[in-house]
Structure 1
Amino acid sequence: MQLPEAIAEYLEAVRFERGASANTVRAYEVDLAALAEFSRERGVESVDDLDLALLRDWLWALTEAGLAKATVARRAAAARGFTAWLERRDLVPADVGARLQSPRSRRPLPRVLAAEPLGGLFDELGAAAAEGEPVAVRDAAMVELLYAAGLRVAELVGLDLGSIDRGARTVRVLGKGGKERVVPYGLPAARALDRWIDGGRPALLRAAMVRTADGGATPRVEAALFLGARGARIDQRVVRRLVERLLAELPGSGPSGPHAFRHTAATHLLDGGADLRSVQEFLGHASLGTTQIYTHVSAERLREGYRTAHPRA
């Protein structure tokens, strides 16, 4: 089988059999297209001709081209997944990528927001929402829920009205790989959601209808919890721009995207005494090892507090 054909079949398997997200499938597609191009340039166009030496040469070329260790490691993982699938499908006699190693990248500690400036941020959002402007009401509810439930941005924008149980104060989330979990949220988030669902969301829809009457496009009235200005499901890019703007003025280094609220929620839970397994379920991590990064964050915060406050530090 030719490499491009095999890669296309593998991507279909990743999409439908593993239930991977569109972003994950796209990342695999880009990585494996790079492998196919590298192989073609060296006269290898069939899966039968793939070997470990070629894969190692590819990773070496990526490193020499200046790609980050994390990128090279991701592409190596994509190649290993592909060659393992080839063997499972009996398209090749052996998994040539089983012994393919990739550079270990030191995983940076995620950004965690301190409680005091975070509280100030929520106060500002709440004050703006109290004036009743629909977008301000929506923004306050989104940010409260990002932190309260530790959601990924894709999970947030994928929520429907039916995902929220207002009585139980829980949200039903569809996470990576199509895995569903139910996550609790607190009273501040509940108040912000009530204000959005009962007032802000209907007002935003009415405004979208008015724009339609003035000659705009007809809004798609749907079950989405959070809506954009035109009445359709909000786009991830809108949420990212909002969060980046909000976090730009807060102290701390590191990425300023929506994931900062997820990192912060997990770290605050551990700081407050939650056990690692509970935090794993809260975040929807498939592996406990993924959750353990937050134990390093908590330990680093403890060390920093010790260095700052202990008389004999």
Structure 2
Amino acid sequence: MGVDEVGVDREDVVIEFGRYLRLERDLSPHTVRAYLTDVNSLLDHTHGVLEGLDIGALREWLAGQHAAGKARATLARKTACARTFTAYCHRRGWLSTDPGLLLGSAKAPRPLPAVLDQRQAEAALDATPSGDPKELRDQALLELLYATGVRVSELCALDVDDVDRERNVVRVMGKGRKERTVPFGLPALRALDRWCIHGRPLWMKAGSGPALFLGVRGGRIDAGTVRRVVHARLAQVEGAPDLGPHGLRHSAATHLLEGGADLRSVQELLGHASLNTTQIYTHVSIERLRAAYRQAHPRA
């Protein structure tokens, strides 16, 4: 473990930084784990000595990660982690200066996401479930994912009372614990009603609580189950790309813009903090328009 030059135990530093990420930054457990892995790798590079974290050490560490074949998106995350960590250590008085201020921002490439076309989306949702609870649940969650564009984590966290059937909206707790209200249409409402009336009661257990979507054992549904449901349904649609729940989110956003929705409205529906994140869907729509033009125009 060791103690560095300013008398701070390495293990304590990592524990305190993790607590800061969870409680003050409110980052997801997945991001916290990734950041702490990066910090331990960085401290290994400086042999556990905090004062060894100068700009040269940061650049050497990132160069080593690049030489090890890390993807650009991974390098971008590691750069962000290093800057966050050195700023935190400087505020705590563990570093006399903040070398992260001199570190450039690595930008990850933003490839255009694969999406369903509207015909494929309709085919994926065109099902008449039997009275089987699993079929009712799967149809309801697929309809709601596509209707609202919510993240899979947001879908899994929904409670029964989060659905307002009078106004056809659902209350969603998004990233950064920011709440937003998202509308949905009649197909999703009908599917939800069928699940809540005829399916959910059959799977309810003492520990089910208020969870909207349940697993077969009565607990709150998990993201892995939702992913399997989406993959299985899209595998039945001829020509459809193999997408997960995030692919339905991308598809919903793209179809909204193609239908005439403005970018700000789509940003609010998706819960994006920055409009720049939402703008990728305009590129998706343009690429689809260009593809249609090349296919249809005689002088394309």
Range class of TM-score, shorter chain: over 0.9
Cα deviation, residue 237, structure 1: 0.9
Identify the residue that residue 14 of structure 2 maps to in structure 1.
7
Counterpart of 1:8, as a letter, is: I
1:227, 1:82 → 2: CA distance? 39
- Give the unaligned 5+ runs of structure 2: 1-7
Identify the residue that residue 212 of structure 1 maps to in structure 2.
none
Which deviations, in whole Å up to 9, do the C-alpha atoms of 1:121-141 show, x marking residues without a partner? 1113xx2x2x11001000000
Counterpart of 1:147, as a letter, is: Y
1:288, 1:3 → 2: CA distance? 39
Give 1:73-92 correspondences, 5 Å limit. 73-92=76-95
Helix, strand or coil: the match of 2:171? strand
Cα deviation, residue 3, structure 1: 3.9
Helix, strand or coil: the match of 1:172? strand
Preserved CA contact (<8 Å) 1:83 1:95: yes
Identify the residue that residue 190 of structure 1 maps to in structure 2.
189
Helix, strand or coil: the match of 2:99? coil
* TM-score (norm. length: structure 1): 0.89
Query: Greater CA deviation, 149-158 or 293-302?
Result: 293-302
Query: Greater CA deviation, 99-108 or 175-184?
Result: 99-108
Preserved CA contact (<8 Å) 2:43 2:50: no
Counterpart of 2:29, as a letter, is: A
1:239, 1:265 → 2: CA distance? 17
Helix, strand or coil: the match of 1:34? helix
Identify the residue that residue 259 of structure 1 maps to in structure 2.
246
Identify the residue that residue 33 of structure 1 maps to in structure 2.
40
Cα deviation, residue 104, structure 1: 3.5
Identify the residue that residue 232 of structure 1 maps to in structure 2.
219
Helix, strand or coil: the match of 1:237? helix
* TM-score (norm. length: structure 2): 0.92
Asked whether 1:241 is paired with 2:263, we answer no
Identify the residue that residue 207 of structure 2 maps to in structure 1.
220
Identify the residue that residue 157 of structure 2 maps to in structure 1.
158
Cα deviation, residue 146, structure 1: 0.6
Identify the residue that residue 132 of structure 1 maps to in structure 2.
131
Preserved CA contact (<8 Å) 1:111 1:252: no
1:13, 1:66 → 2: CA distance? 30
Aligned length: 292
Asked whether 1:116 is paired with 2:123, we answer no
2:102, 2:82 → 1: CA distance? 11
- Give the unaligned 5+ runs of structure 1: 210-218
1:298 is aligned, of 263, 272, 285, to 285
Cα deviation, residue 235, structure 1: 1.3
Helix, strand or coil: the match of 1:97? helix
Identify the residue that residue 26 of structure 2 maps to in structure 1.
19
1:268 is aligned, of 234, 247, 255, to 255
Identify the residue that residue 215 of structure 1 maps to in structure 2.
none
1:237, 1:298 → 2: CA distance? 29
Consecutive aligned runs of 4 or more in structure 1 exceeding 6 Å deviation? none
Asked whether 1:100 is paired with 2:103, we answer yes
Preserved CA contact (<8 Å) 1:135 1:204: no
Identify the residue that residue 48 of structure 1 maps to in structure 2.
51
Query: Greater CA deviation, 301-310 or 256-265?
Result: 301-310
Identify the residue that residue 5 of structure 2 maps to in structure 1.
none
Helix, strand or coil: the match of 1:173? strand
Give 1:161-172 correspondences, 5 Å limit. 161-172=160-171
Preserved CA contact (<8 Å) 1:20 1:178: no
1:310, 1:99 → 2: CA distance? 51
Counterpart of 1:225, as a letter, is: L
1:248, 1:80 → 2: CA distance? 42
CA-based RMSD: 1.6
Counterpart of 1:20, as a letter, is: L
Cα deviation, residue 8, structure 1: 2.0
2:282, 2:9 → 1: CA distance? 45
1:249, 1:107 → 2: CA distance? 29
